[in-house]
Amino acid sequence: MRVAREWLHRLAGTLLRRRCDTDLEEELRLHLEMATEDARSRGREPADAVRAAQVKAGAASQAMDALRDQRGLPWLDDLARDVSHGLRSLWRTPVFTTVALLTLALGIGANTAIFSIVNGVILRPLDYPKPAQLMLVTTEFPELGLTRNPLSVQEYLEFRQINQSFAAVGAYRTTGGAYTTGEVNLTAGGGPLRVRSISVDAGLLSTLGVQPALGRLFTAEETSRVGGLAPPLAIISYELWRAVFGGQPLVGQTVDVDGRLHEILGIMPSGVDVMDNHTAIWLPLGLPAAIRQNRSFHILHVVGRLKDGVTPQAAQTELNALVENWGERTVSSGHVPTNRPTRAADHTLRIEPVQDAVVGDARRSIWMLQVAVGFVLLIACANLANLLMARAESRRREFAVRAALGASRSRLLRQTMTEGVMLCVAGGMLGLWLARVAVHALIRAYPTSVPRMSEIGIDLSVLLFALGVSIATGVLFGLAPLAQGRMNDLVTAFKEGGDRGASGAGRHYVRRTLVVVEVALAVMLVIGAGLLIRTVYNLTSVDAGFDRSRLVTFSMTLPEPYEPDTRAPAYQRLLDKLRAAPGVLGAAAMSGLPPNRSPEAIPTRIENYTASDGSAVEIVDYYQFVMGDYFETMGVPIVAGRSFEPADAASPGRGVVVNETLAKRVWKGRDPIGQRVRPNLSAAIGFGDDSWHTVIGVAKDVKQGGVGKQTGTELYVSLDQLAMAAPAMNVVLRTSLPPAALSRTLERLVREVDPAVPIVRLRDMESVFAESIRRPRLLAQLLGAFAGLALLLAAVGTYGVLSSMAAERQREIGIRIALGADRSSVLALVVKQGLQLTIIGVVVGLAGALGLNRLIASVLFGVQPTDPTTLAAVVMTITLVAAGACWLPAWRASRLDPNVALKAD
Amino acid sequence: MSNRTTAKADVLQGTLDLMVLQTLNSLGPLHGYAIAARLEQVSRGALQLNMGTLYPALMRLEQRGLLRGNWGTTETNRKARFYAATSAGRRQLAREKDAWDRMAGIIHTVLHGEV
């Protein structure tokens, strides 16, 4: 601190009060004059006096030199000299410079790219005022293993009332069974569009602290109507306003949303969103009376803003205390939160920072990538250190000469460091450019793989990071040659005729260590990549329960003024038309599209049944409402009983199909066929009476909530029997044609049914699956790329070190050959030397990988971090690559002509 | 920082600064030659400063804001650059003097005291 202030002072004093040469010379001249006069006044002869004064005061020229040194910042001059010297010497060795620059640009570029993701997704606070105060309030069902679940309306209202920790609380809703889908049809200009929607109450907007860019937000009255539909009002996102409405004045006008004219109240500022929902349109929250009163409908996502000074821990403590006697506090009973969950429906309340909830599971993967690219950079550093050391070897004479001419050791050290930092800054700039390109490409290729994708970019902190990494890299590999400690070893350098002498083994110690480190880091990366690749392979080969080949799906919504009973014939007409279309073998519709659904957890009455909690209600994870010959079209095998048949619609009794897991859980080995259940239709889909249904069949388990997750319990209900349909359905076609070839026909057929309805997400089921595992796939691809890079760099490094080690043993090898050693034993000698290093590296790397187990375990599926097959494959790959890298220098050494080798000096 | 100063100058540096500041503090603004003459006189000829030592020191002190130098004229109507201690310089002097006294006391005790 003091040193820094001293420097600032000196810098300011130097720059502000800089005196010119003539000024200084004048002062010295006057000093001499006075000294001469003084001497004369003491009785000296004039000529003698001048000499005496000069002897006493010293030479003006020397004083001037000292003054100039003091005046300038000597290190600045030295730096300028170092830089120009460095530039010249780098220019003279273009191959070295190019290789070093490329290595650096790749290493720094990859690091900067990943850091820009770390920064944009994890580090940068959310774009709300005081974002650290925002907490997501969720319910947790420990018995069902559900986390981050929404609250019931009553819970939300009670929580808002009784808590003391939060300054404001609000709620929103995006999905809730098939009743709302988080999307609406928007008719504007060109035709029907389907856009992401969110239903919010006024409390949410004030909790978040958002202000509209234009117009106004909802009032509390507009978002708290009980019963009926929400008022036809809407706020649209800035992005939608620009893209669809061209930024034209819109506030106060009406727009067709789901068949109703909505008044546009306002436009949100650019980038405003909730929980990474990609919201395009904001609607007022409307809650039908049935949903509002029923405590078992968990449909509201709740966000609270902590009061100033209240910590999340304190708020959670308060919440726990509230949950302790929630029933008494709120005069409510039944499905209330509890701290001691014993039954399936028992749940507790939890808060977590909104930012953590947004980033969620992605955090670990992103940090993992950062560690991986960090390794790549370390390998790059090791390689460059190697290169620099080889270069230092060849420059020992130059340094020795300069040292002999008076350059101090620290001066020479600074010279190599300057070159290192220069390389790094240039490499860093190249890397920054690479990172920009890579991040753009990544965002374009995987727009939804990472939360907060739109916030990823190169900002000041990323720039600082890149600069910091560049300089640290430069210092790191610039220092390495010094570890050899030979720089000022003048005598040795002059005496040793060249670099072909029998050099001491000690000098190679550093370079050998670098090879070991490179190999070890590469081993860890390749193991990580191998495990991830296995994971992706396992995920793609999971039996999802249906035949997903030649299956095409799309989604559509028939909004108001359709009623459930007018929708059914419309969907029916469409399915009939589709079945008649060329190339279509079968057509059906379903409410939820596997394998990406979130569990609905609907309490369902089951006849003659006592659940683990003593009630006659089983929480069913998924309801699937289906139309047409669903099981045949999807290729879901019926393992017992039968599937739905057209004749069912006419018969008075209603049937349901259950999946194997539900059958096992409820009837435990007894025959489920003929048992009765009472599907909670109003909770699941918002219409229909809750009458008794008979189980007519058991379907094979279908992965609804993710291929890597456990299969939940599932109930199939036939909409054909109910003669009603949900607003949004997923149509599925068994067809030999690809989606692109079908799109024209599909659009025409849908238009024939309703011209205002858009087709969305038309794709084949394979892509739906690929999409569902996009994150592990992306992780595997990136990690694979980094591992490949690491492998390449490590191979180059091993090759480089081994070549120069072999070159330095040239004389020895020459003698061996001259004395009759055969070529293959020379080959073996050098290869052995390299493989020894590799094996040490592999062992160290395996140990390191074991240490990093915990980091990777949670992103793996169906493979252990210590999977012996993967480890063996990795060890083999590395050894093969290393053998390749060793073989070339060894082969060259074995081809040595002893005559040439021995005469070289 | 500058690596040109010799080992001898390094030893002198701190004490030279202290002596220059003390001289200016007690006598008021002086030009370089007067400072050298005064130090020689006070030290009874033991301290002979050549220009190569004195003027860089003055410049250093000025760069640190401890001195301020201005051109003026002497009583004999000669042009000269006069140096005066700034308030920062006086504060620094007081601090350094204390430190020096303490140090000198310690050294004296160590060398002559009964250990």
Do A74 and B4 make contact, defined as CB atoms within 8 angstroms? Answer: yes
**Residue where a domain terminates, one of A756, A790, A815:** A756
| Inside any domain, residue A93 | yes
Provide the pLDDT confidence category of residue A589 given band limits of 50, 70 and 90: very high
Q: Residues in chain A whose beta carbon is closer than 8 A to a beta carbon of chain B?
A: 6, 9-10, 12-14, 17, 19, 24, 26-28, 30-35, 38, 56-60, 62-63, 65-67, 69-71, 74-75, 408, 410-411
Which residues does chain A have within 8 Å of residue B53's beta carbon, measured at their own beta carbons?
A: 58, 66
B79-85 and B30-31 strand pairing: antiparallel
| Inside any domain, residue A351 | no
Do A369 and A483 fall into the same domain?
yes
Q: Residues in chain B whose beta carbon is closer than 8 A to a beta carbon of chain A?
A: 1-4, 31-33, 36-37, 48, 50-53, 55-56, 59-60, 62-65, 78-81
How many folded domains does chain A comprise? 5
Provide the pLDDT confidence category of residue A810 given band limits of 50, 70 and 90: confident
Provide the pLDDT confidence category of residue A144 given band limits of 50, 70 and 90: confident
Residues A698-707: what's their mean pLDDT?
Answer: 91
DSSP symbol at A405: T
Q: How far is B106 from chain A (nearest CA, A)?
A: 25
Whether the CA torsion B106, B108, B113, B115 is positive or negative: it is positive
Q: Which residue has better confidence, A73 or A108? A: A108
Provide the pLDDT confidence category of residue A444 given band limits of 50, 70 and 90: confident
Give percent of chain A above pLDDT 90. Answer: 30
Do A573 and A649 fall into the same domain?
yes
| Inside any domain, residue A552 | no
Residues A30-54: what's their mean pLDDT?
Answer: 86
Residues B38-61: what's their mean pLDDT?
Answer: 87
Position A667 pLDDT exceeds 70: yes
Q: How far is CA A813 from the centre of its chain?
A: 52
**Owning domain of residue B92:** 7-112
Least confident segment among A201-205, A295-299, A610-614, B30-34:
A610-614
Spell out where A28-150 has E strands.
Answer: 134-141, 146-149
A744-759 pLDDT tens trace: 899 899 989 988 888 8
Whether the CA torsion A574, A577, A583, A589 is positive or negative: it is positive
How many folded domains does chain B comprise? 1
Secondary structure tally for chain A: helices H, strands E:
32, 25
Q: Calculate Rg over the CA atoms of chain A.
A: 38
Position A462 pLDDT exceeds 90: no
Do A583 and A666 fall into the same domain?
yes
Residue A709 is predicted with a pLDDT of 83
A652: cis peptide before it, omega within 30°? no
A655-659 and A693-699 strand pairing: parallel
CA distance A619 to A609: 12
A476-489 pLDDT tens trace: 776 666 665 544 45
CA distance A279 to A182: 9
Residue B10 is predicted with a pLDDT of 43
The per-residue DSSP string of A563-606 comes to -HHHHHHHHHHHHHHHHHSTTEEEEEEESS-TTSPPP--EEEEE
Do A30 and B78 make contact, defined as CB atoms within 8 angstroms? Answer: yes
Do A839 and A869 fall into the same domain?
yes
Residue A500 is predicted with a pLDDT of 40
Do A171 and A288 fall into the same domain?
yes
Instruction: Read off the tokens for A119.
Output: 């920064």
Which residues does chain B have within 8 Å of residue A26's beta carbon, measured at their own beta carbons?
A: 79
A281-284 and A191-200 strand pairing: parallel
Residue A491 is predicted with a pLDDT of 46
Which residues does chain B have within 8 Å of residue A14's beta carbon, measured at their own beta carbons?
A: 63
- Tell which of A30, A37, A410 to mutate to test the B interface (max B CBs under 10 Å): A30
Do A278 and A413 fall into the same domain?
no
**Cβ contact A834:A885 at 8 Å:** yes
Do A588 and A713 fall into the same domain?
yes
| Inside any domain, residue B1 | no
Residue A177 is predicted with a pLDDT of 40
Least confident segment among A59-63, A410-414, A602-606, A767-771:
A410-414
- Tell which of A11, A34, A65 to mutate to test the B interface (max B CBs under 10 Å): A34
Residue A544 is predicted with a pLDDT of 87
Position A673 pLDDT exceeds 90: yes
Do A99 and A11 fall into the same domain?
no
CA distance A517 to A521: 6
Q: Which residue has better confidence, A371 or A807? A: A371
Provide the pLDDT confidence category of residue B1 given band limits of 50, 70 and 90: very low
Q: At what angle do helices A21-41 and B32-42 cross, to 10 degrees?
A: 40
Residue A6 is predicted with a pLDDT of 61
- Identity of residue B73: T
Residues A363-392: what's their mean pLDDT?
Answer: 86
Whether the CA torsion A328, A329, A335, A338 is positive or negative: it is negative
Position A835 pLDDT exceeds 50: yes
CA distance A214 to A868: 61
Q: How far is CA B97 from the centre of its chain?
A: 12
CA distance A90 to A422: 10
Position A38 pLDDT exceeds 70: yes
Provide the pLDDT confidence category of residue A10 given band limits of 50, 70 and 90: low
Position B3 pLDDT exceeds 50: no
CA distance A254 to A184: 15
CA angle A169, A174, A176 (to 5 degrees): 105
CA distance A269 to A205: 13
B52-86 pLDDT tens trace: 889 988 988 888 888 988 999 888 888 889 999 99
| Inside any domain, residue A554 | no
Least confident segment among A177-186, A372-381, A443-452:
A177-186
Do A526 and A591 fall into the same domain?
no
CA distance A235 to A716: 37
Q: Residues A99-102: contacts with CB within 8 Å, 24+ apart? A: A99/A387, A100/A384, A100/A387, A100/A423, A100/A427, A101/A423, A101/A426, A101/A427, A101/A430
CB neighbours of residue A46 within 10 Å: 9
| Inside any domain, residue B2 | no
Dihedral angle over CA of A288, A289, A293, A297, nearest 10: -20
| Inside any domain, residue A860 | yes
Position A136 pLDDT exceeds 90: yes
CA distance A129 to A340: 36
Position A317 pLDDT exceeds 90: yes
Q: How far is B54 from chain A (nearest CA, A)?
A: 9
Helix (H, G, I), strand (E, B) or coil at A344: coil
Do A477 and A371 fall into the same domain?
yes
Position A137 pLDDT exceeds 50: yes
Question: Which of B1, B36, B65 faces A13 most closely, judged by CB atoms?
Answer: B65
| Inside any domain, residue B32 | yes
Residue A316 is predicted with a pLDDT of 94
**Owning domain of residue A865:** 507-544+772-905
A898: cis peptide before it, omega within 30°? no
Global ipTM? 0.86
Residue A532 is predicted with a pLDDT of 92
Of A346, A338, A298, the C-alpha closest to A138 is A298
Residue A181 is predicted with a pLDDT of 63
Residue A345 is predicted with a pLDDT of 73
Position A1 pLDDT exceeds 70: no
Do B81 and A60 make contact, defined as CB atoms within 8 angstroms? Answer: no
Write down the mean pLDDT value for chain A. 84
Helix (H) or strand (E) holding A255: strand A254-257
| Inside any domain, residue B85 | yes
Global pTM value: 0.72
Residue A698 is predicted with a pLDDT of 95
CA distance A794 to A647: 69
Position A646 pLDDT exceeds 70: yes
Do A66 and B4 make contact, defined as CB atoms within 8 angstroms? Answer: yes
**Cβ contact A251:A214 at 8 Å:** yes
Give percent of chain A above pLDDT 70. Answer: 91
Residue A662 is predicted with a pLDDT of 93
Of A585, A582, A621, the C-alpha closest to A603 is A621
A205-222 pLDDT tens trace: 999 999 999 999 999 988
Please report where in the chains the tokens 């083994």 appear, as a residue. Answer: A505
| Inside any domain, residue A138 | no
> Which residues are within 8 A (CB) of A165 and not within 5 positions of it... i.e. 6 or more apart?
A304, A306, A307, A310, A314, A315, A318, A319
CB neighbours of residue A276 within 10 Å: 21
Position A11 pLDDT exceeds 60: yes
| Inside any domain, residue B64 | yes
Position A681 pLDDT exceeds 80: yes
Which residues does chain A have within 8 Å of residue B65's beta carbon, measured at their own beta carbons?
A: 9, 12-13
A275-309 pLDDT tens trace: 888 899 999 988 777 778 878 778 899 999 999 99
Residue A503 is predicted with a pLDDT of 46
Do A728 and A838 fall into the same domain?
no
Q: Which residues of A551-585 are buried (b: 16+ CB within 10 A; e: fewer)?
A: bbbbbbbbbeebebeebbeebbebbebbbebeebe
Task: Tell me phi and psi for residue A708, to 5 degrees.
Answer: -85, -5
Taking the CA of residue A45 as centre, how many other CA atoms within 13 Å lie in the half-sphere pointing to its CB?
Answer: 3
Helix (H, G, I), strand (E, B) or coil at A451: coil
Question: Which of A10, A63, A74 faces B55 most closely, judged by CB atoms?
Answer: A63
| Inside any domain, residue A662 | yes
The per-residue DSSP string of A705-762 comes to S-TTSPP--EEEEEHHHHT---SEEEEEEEESS-HHHHHHHHHHHHHHH-TT---EEE
A559, β-bridge pairs? none
| Inside any domain, residue B34 | yes
| Inside any domain, residue A551 | no
Do A622 and A689 fall into the same domain?
yes
Residues A563-579: what's their mean pLDDT?
Answer: 91
Which chain A residue shows the shortest CA-CA distance from B78? Answer: A30
Which residues does chain B have within 8 Å of residue A62's beta carbon, measured at their own beta carbons?
A: 52
Do B50 and A71 make contact, defined as CB atoms within 8 angstroms? Answer: no
**Burial of A361 by CB count in 10 Å (0-12 exposed, 13-18 middle, 19+ buried)?**
exposed
CA distance A734 to A339: 48
Helix (H, G, I), strand (E, B) or coil at A540: helix
Which residues does chain B have within 8 Å of residue A34's beta carbon, measured at their own beta carbons?
A: 31, 33, 78, 80
Which residues does chain B have within 8 Å of residue A21's beta carbon, measured at their own beta carbons?
A: none
A779-790 pLDDT tens trace: 899 999 999 999
| Inside any domain, residue B108 | yes
Provide the pLDDT confidence category of residue A320 given band limits of 50, 70 and 90: very high
**Residue where a domain terminates, one of A476, A496, A516:** A496
CATH number, domain with residue B84: 1.10.10.10
- Tell which of B1, B6, B54, B63 to mutate to test the A interface (max A CBs under 10 Å): B63
Provide the pLDDT confidence category of residue A509 given band limits of 50, 70 and 90: confident
End-to-end CA distance of chain B: 39
Helix (H, G, I), strand (E, B) or coil at A773: coil
Residues B88-112: what's their mean pLDDT?
Answer: 89
- Identity of residue A901: A
> Which residues are within 8 A (CB) of A180 and not within 5 positions of it... i.e. 6 or more apart?
A173, A174, A199
**Cβ contact A393:A134 at 8 Å:** no
